[in-house]
Amino acid sequence: MKAIYEQRLAKLKEIASGGVNPFPYRFDVSHQAGAIKDNFEALSSEETSLTIAGRLMSLRPHGKTAFGHIRDGTGDIQVYFRLDTVGEERFKFLDLVDLGDIVGVTGTVFKTRTEEITVKVSAYELLTKSLRPLPEKWHGLRDKETRYRQRYVDLFANLEVRDVFLKRSAIISHMRRFLDGKGFVEVETPVLQPLYGGGAAEPFVTHHSALDMKLYLRIADELYLKRLLVGGLEKVYEISKDFRNEGIDRTHSPEFTQLELYQAYADYTDMMDIFEEIVESIAVKIHGSTRITYQDTELDLKRPWKRLSVAEGLKINAGVDLDEDGDDGLRRACERIGDADWEGASRGAMIEALIDHFVEPNLIEPTFLYDYPVEISPLAKVSRKDERFAERFEPFVCGFELGNAFSEQNNPIRQRESFERQREVEGEGKEIDLDFLRALEYGMPPAGGLGIGVDRLVMLLTNSHSIRDVLLFPQMRHEAEIDEEPDGI
């Protein structure tokens, strides 16, 4: 690597000494690779002069000619250099051009004998000299660790990776258009919060010097968005970064993107409708169909999704009957999970553990798991059918959760009681958001709320195995050492 770097550095110095700026300021681009291919007939018949720019991914000299490929933001296109077309001096200059350099070319398009659309180069410029080589030709950039750390290389080396992030952008844009079309208003709430709430999670903690106060990176937007319902904004949403100081695995990242929306005068059944509709419409937008394949499993995201209550799910998958099994029965069921000590565990905690272990992994087809125990749903209203449960659902596909939704608790007295029970479980360090309770005391309309894990939805719709595959720059352990390069850049 060091030898290659020094060779390229020598070329860089030779180019500069010849009076050529190897890092010019701009270049006029008239066409991109994709547009040239789409409009080849018109461009070729009219012999249109065009300019394109991109990274040189291949170069094959053949005496007085050379073929190569340039990769731009829309893909690859072949380029063809001839000595008698570009001139002897410029053709010889190709000796100083390396794979990975960014070049701009001017020319006309034609098809080779193999029917490949090609730009016949009449002139070209070096736009950026690359000092590091491309990943190995035949294998590309495949090491996961390197790909995540050097996403900038991953994106130009692996077009399928670039496609994932283009689809991610399209998914988020579609979410906005969908909600805007439904009359929702996009808002922004604080990332730095004096109290964290809206979920049970360990926060990241920081300190504001000027105010001399502890602040937390938000774990959710919920409590601020519901304040806006109190203020009369009846349909609100936010697509935001949230942060939880917890473990990293296939579906969890300490920094993640979430869509949260709240609608006045609605409940959790309305949120089911919105969730189904938004996911179905995104699938059609991205794939042209609600039928997708995720990790070799064929799925149909079309409405309506299957509905399964927590009680039914536990009976089917764990053999637990919540109508008959008391705490001792739940404890015995939990002992089948592992070696953890369940003595003294709350009923809600045991039910949650049983759901996680026995029920969720079996929810392969798109399913709403609904009516969770009230003990683990402090921000939801009690079920109108059974006061042991809360009007809450989570959507699942292929065994992982895509979101969370409630009929929102708007009774300030009930909400205070739930917060106090939550503090008993999480410890005295968990502060109660008194300002949120004050807001509820002014009156919040009945409402439904929905949170969607954007990263997980992107995983599903791009057939990506890990959440790191859909984050441009996922959190990684500190890199032990970055190879040093010679001075003189």
pLDDT for 119-149, tens place per residue? Answer: 999 999 999 999 999 887 545 566 788 889 9
Q: What global pTM score does this model have? A: 0.93
The burial class, CB within 10 Å (0-12 / 13-18 / 19+), for 362 is middle
> To 5 degrees, how large is the angle CA 317–CA 322–CA 325?
100
Q: What angle do CA 243, 248, 252 make, to 5 degrees?
A: 65
Give the pairing of strands 117-128 and 75-82: parallel
CA atoms of 68 and 119, how far apart (whole Å): 10
Residue 354, helix vs strand vs coil:
helix
14 Cβ contact list (under 8 Å, min separation 6): 96
Task: Convert the pLDDT of each residue in 255-301 to its tens digit.
Answer: 999 999 999 999 999 999 999 999 999 999 999 999 999 999 999 99
Residue 216 has pLDDT above 70, yes or no: yes
The per-residue pLDDT for 482 is 67
Question: Are 34 and 14 within 8 A, CB to CB?
Answer: no
456-474 per-position pLDDT tens digit:
999 999 999 999 999 999 9
The ranges assigned to domains in the chain are 2-134, 157-305+366-470
Tell me the two tokens of residue 366.
């798109």
Region 398-402: mean pLDDT is: 97
What tokens were used for 240? Answer: 């935001």
| pLDDT at 376 > cutoff 80 | yes
In 214-309, which ranges are continuous DSSP H helix? 222-230, 268-287
For the domain made up of 157-305+366-470, give the CATH fold.
BirA Bifunctional Protein; domain 2 (3.30.930)
Q: Is the dihedral of CA 210, 211, 216, 218 positive or negative?
A: negative
Tokens representing 265 are 């005068």
Tell me the pLDDT tens digit for each residue of 331-342. 999 999 987 788
CA atoms within 13 A on the CB side of 205: 4
* 304 preceded by a cis bond (ω within 30 of 0): yes
**pLDDT grade for 165, boundaries at 50, 70 and 90:** very high
Number of residues that make up the chain: 489
> Which alpha helices (DSSP H) does 182-249 contain, by range?
222-230
Res 488: pLDDT: 43
**Phi and psi (nearest 5°) for 336?**
-75, -15
176-208 pLDDT tens trace: 999 999 999 999 999 999 999 888 889 999 999
Mean of per-residue pLDDT scores for the chain = 94
Among 73-87, 318-332, 458-472, the minimum mean pLDDT is found in 318-332
209's CB contacts (< 8 A; 6+ apart) are: none
CB contact at 8 A, 460 and 292: yes
Which has the closest alpha carbon to 263: 435, 412, 451? 451
What is the dihedral angle through the alpha carbons of 325, 331, 333, 336, rounded to the nearest 10 degrees?
-170
Question: For the packed helices 222-230 and 434-442, what is the interaxial angle rounded to 10 degrees?
Answer: 30
The bridge status of strand 50-62 relative to strand 297-300 is: unpaired
157-305+366-470 matches 2-134 in CATH topology: no
Please tell me the predicted confidence (pLDDT) of residue 428.
65
Assigned fold of 2-134: OB fold (Dihydrolipoamide Acetyltransferase, E2P) (2.40.50)
Structure tokens at 177: 């258009």
Q: How many C-beta atoms lie closer than 10 Å to residue 101's C-beta?
A: 19
**3-state SS, residue 482:** coil
Residue 251 has, within 13 A of its CA and on its CB side, a CA count of: 13
For the segment 69-96, the average pLDDT, to the nearest whole number, is: 97
DSSP-derived secondary structure letter, 358: I
Q: How far apart (Å, rounded) are the C-alpha atoms in residues 212 and 192?
A: 14
Cβ atoms of 465 and 473 closer than 8 Å? no
- Which distant-in-sequence residues (6+ apart) come within 8 Å of 99 by Cβ? 56, 57, 58, 59, 130, 133, 134
Radius of gyration, CA atoms only, the chain: 29
